[in-house]
Structure 1
């Protein structure tokens, strides 16, 4: 007999084993929690609202695609270069949401709204999951706010970030409905799985880890029930995820299934990414404050954890160590995983704040942590705005409808978090000048954006690293010896070249083909001097006939 025909009978008359009874009074009032949520949301929004083009790596590239989706029917230049291929892709949420917002505002404000929506979704999801697990609202999950800015966020993985928040809500609904009739629970869970799939495949994986951890805790926490029904119920909990298989097979993403790489290095760094942003000292201070506060709470017996915490740490740790670095040709697959688990962990912890000293201490610690984090981000972003303004000024020099090639002067460029904003900044030319840019995301199986056939061989379709300037010099008149590259014979195909991560005063690498028209901090814009057309040889006069 299947688990679906076995709704657990014992639990209909008893509390769910994984929902702890609340202790009252144990926390701040609901009104104060709501007020703190609004205040924290306002504080965490400051860097986003004051920097319409935040210095995040992939963000501008994604935003350029949003602009193409919204403007393509009306922009002749973009229609010449780009087209859209809608399909079942596990990377579509931003594509579905931002162009709709763009109808009532500009693309930069639409991006800000989407980013803040991600923030609100993650923090509200952490609060809701805690409420589902413990049966009461708590202020502790507000500690999710200082974690919103992290190294993974700096990469600009906006679809995945939206998916983290949705996964938290999905796990909360699973917990709330766990002892309800199975059809409703399975139907809602399957709906979440589909939505998470379209956010990002990894977001669906985060939800799967949460469900597996929850069900393991439940499996071993209900030993008064016979083992076989418990095992059947445990296995059946994975049925809502079965819908991913046909969706993935029907997706062009399936064609990338063989592009996986496992790397042992960087696992510890992935954990560090949860708390570290720009300055190590800030991460150290924030961690120390949290550890000391937790130690004080434990000493005074004010802290308790949910039974979900231990299996969550064990399952997530095992999955993290086993995960490849590259999955479905997507880099940093494993390193983006710990931040999602961190929000789940926060939801499994409860602190008794019935004492006034504990309440005041918590509010002070929360505001202090968030103020330090926001201050760090705001300070660095303010310092980086000079390149933003400078890059926009250079963009204005590009003729609309031009073809723009991106190259690196330093192959190590972009490794420093402060350089991340430059990596895809050239995609602003798509938004502002309706240009073709070689680094725009046009990978089949990852995005819906495609370069049209006349230009498809002139853009990066593999998410690779842009060519170094030395590679351009070698392929100025000849193709790459070991195979064709999109930058081959570049003077014939491109109108401008952005060289990123340059040094002030460096000489023009190719004066015969490149004319510098703008130099900014860590980048240069060159106009391509097209090769002169070959001069036809004079016709040879016919030979006079011999007498």
Structure 2
């Protein structure tokens, strides 16, 4: 295994560029299958985000939506999807617009990994195509769509810095500043990923130039951070600044965050993919075919320190630390290439890559096809809801949503926003995190803190009296809501409050009840 801080002098042995383009296209088609065949993918936050996109696009011409919601456009490090999807929605329906945006994220990350690799080694290489099987991962299942777009943009930003590192400095800093501002509006953590990669790159550069005067080297090292200065005033001017105190660190979950890079639904698939890639890299290293850029060591060191130090929650954003390993994995792929010396190795690489991707896509497709059963049933239940209704979401199980197969249910009730212009308590309306707001008459009846919905037991004790330990948005719920979605229950489960709830529809893991208002006689 060799390290290459600069492009190799000899002509590299790799796939032809036309073959790399062909493989990229083939991999992109394969990775698109689950998205295109599931307009409502079972991702945790996805439907909630999609509902906000629909509100942005329809608010001015939908009286029911405008009765409940309004938009508060401001400087916010979480806006990329809000800016792109409503524009696409002008030409297609909101579900297709969401699919297009998701595939844009996939294309950005895969192409960004390839481009970063090209900027580091000076030649196009096929190895970064291994990014495709990693596009489906544990973090993607959460549905963090702005951050996912930002990962791809951060890869291109680091590639641009590498390309321009020896060019006139105004170009380098101008382009980097533009990327930083764009990444800020993707997600604050995406800007952090670029900062991490840039720090590693400049540490490597500092090591490469040892022997030259220290002062100018340090000056260049420190000045690399100048493009990040605009983040400070933007963050202070943003309502996100008000969430600076909502942070906490915990050691549990650090290993799980690393596992999320390869683990989606089935452990054995993750083990198989990891084993095949690991064995191939070891074999290539032993035969001196694996070339690792000198960026790799500082990248792993910086990423390791940052990951261990990162809190679990930053700016009231959950799973802050666990999002990092996925992004680092794509950076790592960008810093490696394999010398494919003979025809058998080149063909073998293409076959193994496509087989790995087929296994990953097959895993996702099989599970999503199974989960489509609840998607269809949930869509049918939404048809039973009266337009412009107020919907309370509650849990029957305190552990609801912890199983990856349950993630799609967590925010499924937001389909009622898209289809029935309803008020839904779990719609993302947190100041400093989203632009969506609820009008004052209804603001006290929705979750504005991104918390966990109430349990059935909590509803029962607040049916006629407010919560004893302080007001809750579900207090006196029979007066304020028209329907209750009870999630993570079972088909045929008994009605928890027959005096105030009338079953309307049910499916696997959910029930929809119509609220019998206090003024009406119990059925």
* TM-score normalised per structure 2: 0.98
Q: Aligned match of 2:357 in 363, 370, 380?
A: 370
Check whether the contact 1:20–1:306 (CA below 8 A) recurs between aligned residues: no
Match of 1:494 among 481, 494, 497: 481
Cα–Cα, structure 1 residues 338 and 22, in superposed 2: closer, same or farther, change >3 Å? Answer: farther
Q: How does 1:1-16 map to 2 (within 5 A)?
A: none
- Could you tell me which residue of structure 2 aligns to residue 436 of structure 1? 423
1:481 aligns with 2:468: yes
Q: What's the counterpart of residue 61 of structure 2?
A: 74
Give the secondary-structure state (helix, strand or coil) at the position aligned to 1:83. Answer: strand
1:46-99 deviation per Cα after TM superposition (whole angstroms, max 9, x unaligned) = 000000000000000000000000000000000000000000000000000000
What runs of 5+ residues in structure 2 fail to find an aligned partner? none
Distance in 1, matches of 2:443 and 2:82, equals 21
1:40 is aligned, of 7, 10, 27, to 27
In the aligned structure 1, how far is the partner of 2:25 from the partner of 2:233?
41
* 2:256 paired residue number: 269
Looking at structure 2, the residues matched to 261 and 156 of structure 1 have their Cα atoms a distance apart, in angstroms, of 22
Q: Which residue of 2 aligns with 1:232?
A: 219
Residues 435-514 of structure 1: pairs in structure 2 closer than 5 A: 435-514=422-501
Superposed displacement of residue 23, structure 1: 3.8
CA distance in 1, matches of 2:296, 2:520: 70
**More off after superposition, 218-227 vs 195-204:** 218-227
Paired residues for 1:404-443 under 5 Å: 404-443=391-430
Shift of 1:299: 1.8
Does the 8 Å contact 1:22/1:134 carry over to 2?
no
- Kindly report which structure 2 residues correspond to 1:41-60, keeping only aligned pairs within 5 A, or say none: 41-60=28-47
Distance 2:99 2:182 in 1: 22
Is the contact between residue 7 and residue 123 of structure 2 (CA under 8 Å) also seen in structure 1?
no
Alignment of 1:79-228 (within 5 A): 79-228=66-215
2:299 aligned partner: 312
Bigger Rg, which one: 1
Once the two structures are TM-superposed, the CA of residue 223 in structure 1 deviates from its matched residue by 1.1
Describe the superposition over 1:490-509 as per-residue Cα deviations: whole angstroms up to 9, x where unpaired.
00000000000002332110
Q: What's the CA shift string for 1:451-501, capped at 9, x where partnerless?
A: 111100000000000000100000000000111000000000000000000
Paired residues of 1:402 and 1:436 also in contact (CA < 8 A): yes
Provide, for residues 369-402 of structure 1, a one-character-per-residue CA deviation record: whole Å limited to 9, x for no partner: 1000000000000000000000000000000000
Report if aligned partners of 1:427, 1:437 keep a CA contact under 8 Å in 2: yes
Matches within 5 A, 1:371-410: 371-410=358-397
Partner Cα separation in structure 1 for residue 9 and residue 430 of structure 2: 50
Deviation at 1:533, TM superposition (A): 7.0
Preserved contact between residue 462 and residue 475 of structure 2 (Cα < 8 Å): yes
1:449–1:137 Cα change, 3 Å: same
Structure 1 CA distance, aligned partners of 2:435 and 2:196? Answer: 28
1:331 to 308, 318, 330: 318
Deviations 1:176-195 (A, max 9, x none): 00011111100100000000
CA shift at 1:18, angstroms? 3.8
Shift of 1:298: 1.2
Contact kept, 8 Å, 2:292 with 2:335, in 1: the verdict is yes
Shift of 1:19: 3.0
Taking structure 1 as the reference length, the TM-score comes to: 0.94
- Which residue does the alignment assign to 2:6? 19
Which portions of structure 1, spanning 4 or more consecutive aligned residues, are displaced by more than 3 angstroms?
none
Contact 2:491 2:511 in 1 (8 A): no
CA distance, structure 1, for counterparts of residue 233 and residue 520 of structure 2: 54
Q: What SS is found at the alignment partner of 1:275? A: coil
Q: Is the 8 A contact 1:515 1:527 kept in 2?
A: yes
Q: Tell me how far 1:365 sits from its aligned partner.
A: 1.3
